[in-house]
Chains A and B, each alone.
Chain A
């Protein structure tokens, strides 16, 4: 977490949420990352989200000021994730490159 700059540690007052999604292969995990990353959070502040891929796992970390904002963001992410998963099921596996 971010270091304190002499004053109060505001970072520690944030709500955090993390999600781990396993995929059949690293390629599919990276496709999901590519599909889910481009769109920014709609609101300007109050929430941040970080997506990373390690091997065949997609990890998402949220940090938010309020539970209400966090819930909306996590909910819509899960909707989006299941659509990506369904799309992979119906139109995958990835073509060989």
Chain B
């Protein structure tokens, strides 16, 4: 039996989760929510995390019904992400690991998403679409690496959605993406937007500039509604993602797709991916907001796999890093 506690705080969510051999014992989380029209800045986000992290840690232990002595390993997000929030979370992880006399383990955030998705859905060897506010990648496993087949060449799809939400002052509570999804359901008219797939890669910054420029004009002239814009943006960017995912599947001969990351809980994206999968006789796997959106259990789960395969991180090597690509990690826990 191996019990791992995972600390995550690379963006505006702070989460601490405990995993015991594939079972999620607890997974509390807090989100730093900014007013409409505003994004989250690193230092403010770190301040938010500092203010709540110890309460969240207490909750995680209490909900799991565990004492620190029961834990085998302390995992935390090493990167990628925003520097100040990452440091905040790493500090607490390092301190408790030393206080409790437990080994420490630095986890790649993207690997956390993939391993949590695999655990929850039991997908065996899927082509992974990882879509969030900071990352957009199509990934497939081969020879001890999660290899990136396609990715964004500029901003992440979630960043495109979040920043569009700011333009027309959509609420950030519970998240801008969720509110866009709800408004998109009421959209009826498709407004044509640039469609930018470049080989296996995608680009979202041009779409964002276009819609930022056009939104107020089209809205004030009554050419379309806010709901129409939400609908059109979702249809466009999700089509692009489905296209590159399908191409990666064709390359790999894969029959499974797993969607992970915060944007992955968008039901319209899941629906569009489902249509593609049906046409190819492939299986679609996705999870809900508890595990798609950044959380502590995903770091615990990746940490569990790493720890069981013999990895630990020495204190002096436990520095955080804002850049940390998915394919930098040697996957020592898969064949």
Interface residues of A (CB under 8 A from B): 31-32, 34-40, 42, 76, 79-80, 83-84, 86-88, 90-95, 97
What is the minimal beta-carbon distance from B140 to any residue of chain A, in angstroms? 33
Which residues of chain B from 108 to 133 have any CB-CB distance to chain A below 8 Å in the complex? none
Q: How many residues of B contact A (CB 8 A)?
A: 28
B138 CB-CB contact with A under 8 Å: no
Chain A to chain B: the 3 pairs with minimum beta-carbon distance, closest first: A35-B94, A31-B98, A87-B95
Residue numbers in B under 8 Å from A79 (CB-CB) = 46, 50
Per the bound structure, the CA–CA distance linking A86 and B315 in Å amounts to 20
Chain B, residue nearest A86 (CB): B54
| B99 near A83: Cβ-Cβ < 8 Å | no
What is the minimal beta-carbon distance from B233 to any residue of chain A, in angstroms? 34
What is the minimal beta-carbon distance from B160 to any residue of chain A, in angstroms? 27
| B101 near A95: Cβ-Cβ < 8 Å | yes
Which of A31, A37, A80, A90 meets B87, CB within 8 Å?
Answer: A80
Chain B, residue nearest A36 (CB): B91
A35-B94, A86-B54 known; A95 vs B69 contact (CB < 8 Å): yes
| A39 near B90: Cβ-Cβ < 8 Å | yes
30 A-B interface contacts by CB (under 8 A):
A31-B98, A32-B95, A34-B98, A35-B94, A35-B98, A36-B91, A38-B94, A38-B316, A38-B318, A39-B319, A42-B83, A80-B87, A80-B88, A80-B91, A83-B88, A83-B91, A84-B91, A84-B92, A87-B54, A87-B92, A87-B95, A87-B99, A88-B95, A90-B54, A91-B68, A91-B100, A94-B98, A95-B68, A95-B99, A97-B101
